[in-house]
Amino acid sequence: MALTAPVGKKFEPVPKGNHVARLYKIIHIGTIEDTWQGETKLVDKVQLTFELCNEKKTFKDGDEPRPLAISTPILTLSMNEKATLRKLVEGIIGTALTDKEAEIFDIEQLLGEACLLNVIHKDSPKGIRANIQGASPLPKGMTAPDMVNEARSIDVNTASQIEIRDLPNFIREKMETSKEYQQRFGEGAQAEGGVTKDDIPF
């Protein structure tokens, strides 16, 4: 009997252009190693995911069409004036923040917020990829449909291991290397009630 392996479905990027979108998921990955220009540092990371309200697809036979989604790259959790996250936040709210405002801005308050996302296509070794180029408020008179996906914030500091296990593999593996995850679940981490693995007599 021949043993063959499936090629797999071809990945199709979301269409390029401007899209009415809503932010529906924030994942706080935690503090992980990040290499930039040959220098490796420990950096706090986050990822934001948007649903594209008017771009829908039927993912399973018999199901209703659901919005396509697009995520940012893994971003540094920084509101420095040059940080990508700050530029994205300012685009969504349509306001330039002062450094003082940026320092105390809670990005979780943006969950469910509607905006206009500019999506571009770029070549990569795995084919064409869709990237978020920028965000802006909805133009006057334009409205966004109600959000379909549940608004979720998944934080390495509070998420259960079940929630973490259900994350996309790439994100889960990053989170599992984070300082915060290791402090909570790594070797020697305290279990509920302050008991460590070494305290268990069997």
pLDDT per position as a tens digit, 45-56: 999 999 999 999
List Cβ neighbours of 191 (8 Å cut-off, separation of 6 or more). Answer: 197
pLDDT of residue 197: 42
The candidate with the shortest Cα–Cα distance to 75, out of 32, 124, 111, is 32
DSSP sequence for 146-192: PP-SPPEEEETTT--HHHHHTS-HHHHHHHHTSHHHHHHHSTT---G
pLDDT of residue 182: 96
3-class DSSP state of 197:
helix
Low-confidence ranges of the chain (pLDDT < 70): 1-10, 190-202
d(CA 128, CA 143): 30
pTM of the model: 0.86
Does residue 138 contact residue 115 with C-beta atoms inside 8 Å? yes
**Token code pair at residue 29:** 């990955």
Distances (CA, A) of 21 to 18, 58, 107, 130, 159: 9, 18, 16, 15, 26
Question: Is the Cα torsion angle 75, 79, 82, 88 positive or negative in sign?
Answer: positive
pLDDT of residue 176: 97
pLDDT of residue 194: 44
> What letter represents residue 91's amino acid?
G
pLDDT of residue 195: 42
d(CA 73, CA 189): 30
Name residue, tokens 């259960």.
160
3-class DSSP state of 88:
helix
d(CA 92, CA 84): 12
pLDDT of residue 187: 82
